[in-house]
Amino acid sequence: MARALTLGNGSILVGIDHFGQVRDFYYPHVGLENHVGGHFVHRVGVFSPNPAVGGTGKLAWLSDPSWRVSVGSKEESLSSDIRAENRDLGVSLAANDLVYNEHNIFIRKVTVKNLQGVSRPIKIFFAHQFEITESHRAHTAYYDPAAHAIIHYRGRRVFLINAKLEGRGFDDYSTGVFDSEGKEGTHKDAEDGTLAKNPIEHGLADSVIGLSGDFGPGEEKTVYYWVAVGKTHDYVKRLNTMVEEKSPAHMIKTTEDYWRAWINRQNFNFHGLTPEVVALFKKSLFIIRAHTDHGGAIIASSDSSMMQQGGKDNYCYMWHRDGAFSSMALDRAGDFTVCQRFFEFSNAVIGEEGYFLHKYSPDRSLGSSWHGWVDKITHEPRLPIQEDETALTIIALWRHYELTKDLEFIELLYNSLIRRAADFMVSYRDEKTGLPLPSNDLWEENFGTHTFTAASVYGALSAASHFAELLGKTKSQTRFTETARQIKEAILAHLYDETGGYFCKSLGDKTVDASSALGIFAFGVLPIDDLRLIRAMKKTEEDLTVKTSIGGIARYQGDQYYRSNAGLPGNPWIVTTLWLAEYLIVAAENDRDLDRARSIFSWVVSRADRSGALPEQVHPFTGVPLSASPLVWSHAAFVHAIVSYLDRLETLGICKARDQLNNF
């Protein structure tokens, strides 16, 4: 199940499913150590005698079909807006969840309403299944009477759970085991409305707490629930005391105030954009930010239910491809500090030879991979890299400098990151063609010499030349400039099909691929008015448009990934469709020319769920999300395209991209 919502603060990331239940709880890194695992769940349920059914008590967890649940996000805040109603129980819930921005605490405010016209007791339960440190062994869950809290721990991972209903602590609890010893879990103990109060359990341990209240006709009461996480018992108890002293209501308010200030600091002028597009732009920024670790990694997706490569792994890694695109989006939205941490991460992990490997974990260790070090057929050695990842990072760093003018930061990274990567790209070339030597493509499917990769290397070496010029590195500047020129000539000589009027996917593969034309204009190989680029973009759109009621642009002809229909080029992807918008924006000469880009923005909005989460791709006939959701790359592409649109408005003299701030 795709994640409806992700919440975080750079150390914690919480994934919430479409029932409003916690499915992922990452700590101490965003994307590393999922202590719920995606396959377990933190349930929320309600128990009450219902006069409409003779007073019989009934418990319904939010995943029960009797609930109607809608999971959304609050406007201008990295927090949830969850609504649930159960007519059988005569109860509704409204939840506002967030991760506290200052400390590692997940907080839920749940408003419980009695929909019946009579007074009656209602009890709300919170049930917890942990897979601490992603292990099934040696867990402990216990009730701590001094803190009046439930604590789960394994080694140096400690979770404290507490809740209050109208200022009163929980009045029922129990611990137990689940998914082992023939036991389904302690949540079954709640079905009669009363828990066994078992004070401690170990193994694969779970817990449930209950809070009871008497509700008048139509009356609402508020539950505040929180999970504090840290490395020691003393620390989480101090966090618990802090929550009680500050109050959860105060912490929710200050966190929402922080995110409201964060999202509005650029004061964009959203001329010509619908409120729905503006809302998704802001939600996209929050989603990217939630997937950014305090150590600099920007993971591809926190959707742990999305298993890659036949169930072998998930998307909780940093690809420098996705990270670079996300960094460029955040930079253009004004979050320079987060982007700086991304480049510091990159500086730390780049190899001595000057390239990045496939992907990395947020703790800077090497991620899993399917890129082999030898050819499967010839068994000849080869580098298991996507060279575009190295190139894109240097391009993103140059664009970071253009916005920040932070020369001291560039000087710190020049020898260890910029020059090292550029020297590699200069040397990693075919002597005959002048093109980069083969590597894996950006789609991670084929090994060869690809147009997108070659274009990105051209863009990166051009950027490296600019860096060298800034710092007075004359010899390097000359070498980088000359190599970039040679690569550009080689691209036009070997990868452009004059007869077809498009850029091939790669040497020896004349497939039309959306990334080929994108690379040519995005990295400056050809200017926007060059006839070859105009022809290539036209053919890309003609051949890759998904001609169904859903529409959108496929990755390339014959794409088999999640393929739905052999008569289509592939499924519509969010990023490829937004690449077309980027081209239309750059090519626009007046406001009317921007109408098609605005229509693509509306198309993207129609593909998002209520919380704003965008998938990787959608089904060509139903539009339902396919693959990971949310996919950070999709959100980064949307943010980047929107800012490109706003900047184009300013270039065309229509209006300023950013409104002037008020003077007080």
The answer to the question of residue 330 being in a domain is no
CATH code where residue 70 lies: 2.70.98.10
Is the pLDDT at 304 greater than 90? The verdict is: no
Strand partners, 450: 506
Other CB atoms within 10 Å distance of the CB of residue 91: 24
Could you give phi then psi for residue 659, rounded to 5 degrees? -70, 150
Same domain, 476 and 562: no
Same domain, 121 and 153: yes
Is the pLDDT at 660 greater than 70? The verdict is: no
Cα(630)–Cα(300) distance, integer angstroms? 9
Band the pLDDT of 313: cuts 50, 70, 90: confident
Going by their DSSP bridges, the two strands 139-144 and 200-203 should be labelled as: antiparallel
Spatial contact of 607 and 623, defined as CB atoms under 8 Å apart: yes
The answer to the question of residue 401 being in a domain is yes
For the chain, give the mean pLDDT: 95
Spatial contact of 293 and 300, defined as CB atoms under 8 Å apart: no
Number of residues in the chain = 664
Q: Which residues contact 277 (CB under 8 A, 6 or more apart)?
A: 270, 598, 601, 602, 605, 642
Tally of structural domains, the chain: 3
Band the pLDDT of 323: cuts 50, 70, 90: very high
Task: Encode pLDDT of 35-62 as tens digits.
Answer: 998 889 999 999 997 555 455 689 999 9
Going by their DSSP bridges, the two strands 172-177 and 120-129 should be labelled as: unpaired
CATH code where residue 442 lies: 1.50.10.10
Could you give phi then psi for residue 78, rounded to 5 degrees? -85, 70
CB-based burial, 204-225: b 16+ in 10 Å, e otherwise: bbbbbbbbbbebeeeeebbbbb
Domain boundary residue, one of 476, 507, 540: 540
Spatial contact of 32 and 26, defined as CB atoms under 8 Å apart: yes
The answer to the question of residue 314 being in a domain is no
Cα(288)–Cα(634) distance, integer angstroms? 10
Other CB atoms within 10 Å distance of the CB of residue 587: 18
The answer to the question of residue 69 being in a domain is yes
The answer to the question of residue 81 being in a domain is yes
Could you give phi then psi for residue 349, rounded to 5 degrees? -105, -10
The residue with tokens 């065309």 is 652
Same domain, 526 and 549: no
Task: Encode pLDDT of 15-34 as tens digits.
Answer: 999 999 999 999 999 999 99
Cα(465)–Cα(471) distance, integer angstroms? 10
Cα(164)–Cα(142) distance, integer angstroms? 18
Task: Encode pLDDT of 523-532 as tens digits.
Answer: 999 999 999 9
| Helix, strand, coil fractions of the chain, as percent rounded to 5 | 35, 25, 40
Band the pLDDT of 204: cuts 50, 70, 90: very high
Band the pLDDT of 309: cuts 50, 70, 90: very low
Which is higher by pLDDT, 566 or 235? 235
Band the pLDDT of 658: cuts 50, 70, 90: confident
Is the pLDDT at 623 greater than 70? The verdict is: yes
CA torsion, ordered 608, 97, 363, 441, to nearest 10 deg: 0
Label residue 417 left, alpha or beta by phi (over 0 means left) and psi (-120 to 50 means alpha). Answer: alpha
Amino acid 182: pLDDT? 76
Is the pLDDT at 1 greater than 60? The verdict is: no
Task: Encode pLDDT of 624-635 as tens digits.
Answer: 999 999 999 999
The answer to the question of residue 595 being in a domain is yes
Cα(309)–Cα(628) distance, integer angstroms? 13
Cα(664)–Cα(661) distance, integer angstroms? 9
Cα(483)–Cα(480) distance, integer angstroms? 5
Same domain, 86 and 9: yes
Amino acid 505: pLDDT? 98
Cα(79)–Cα(251) distance, integer angstroms? 12
Q: Which residues contact 272 (CB under 8 A, 6 or more apart)?
A: 591, 594, 598, 649
Same domain, 495 and 631: no
Return the SS3 of 209: strand
Same domain, 581 and 436: no
Cα(167)–Cα(148) distance, integer angstroms? 13
Cα(468)–Cα(472) distance, integer angstroms? 6
CA torsion, ordered 306, 307, 308, 313, to nearest 10 deg: 120
Same domain, 228 and 364: no
Q: Which of 321, 648, 276 is nearest to 452 (CA)?
A: 321
Task: Encode pLDDT of 331-359 as tens digits.
Answer: 999 999 999 999 999 999 999 999 999 99
Same domain, 206 and 280: no
Q: Over pLDDT 70: what percentage of the chain? A: 97
Is the pLDDT at 269 greater than 80? The verdict is: yes
The residue with tokens 């440190």 is 133
Amino acid 553: pLDDT? 98
Is the pLDDT at 616 greater than 60? The verdict is: yes
Question: What is the distance of C-alpha 578 from the center of its chain?
Answer: 17
The answer to the question of residue 307 being in a domain is no
Same domain, 410 and 347: yes
Same domain, 97 and 204: yes
Question: What is the distance of C-alpha 13 from the center of its chain?
Answer: 10
Cα(108)–Cα(163) distance, integer angstroms? 9
Domain boundary residue, one of 215, 244, 261: 261
Spatial contact of 390 and 425, defined as CB atoms under 8 Å apart: yes
The answer to the question of residue 198 being in a domain is yes
Same domain, 498 and 512: yes
Amino acid 179: pLDDT? 85
Amino acid 308: pLDDT? 40
Spatial contact of 552 and 573, defined as CB atoms under 8 Å apart: yes
Q: Which of 207, 199, 201, 205 is nearest to 225 (CA)?
A: 207
Cα(512)–Cα(509) distance, integer angstroms? 9
* Domain enclosing residue 386, as ranges: 342-540
Task: Encode pLDDT of 548-592 as tens digits.
Answer: 999 999 999 999 999 888 889 999 999 999 999 999 999 999 999
Same domain, 566 and 438: no
Domain boundary residue, one of 511, 540, 569: 540
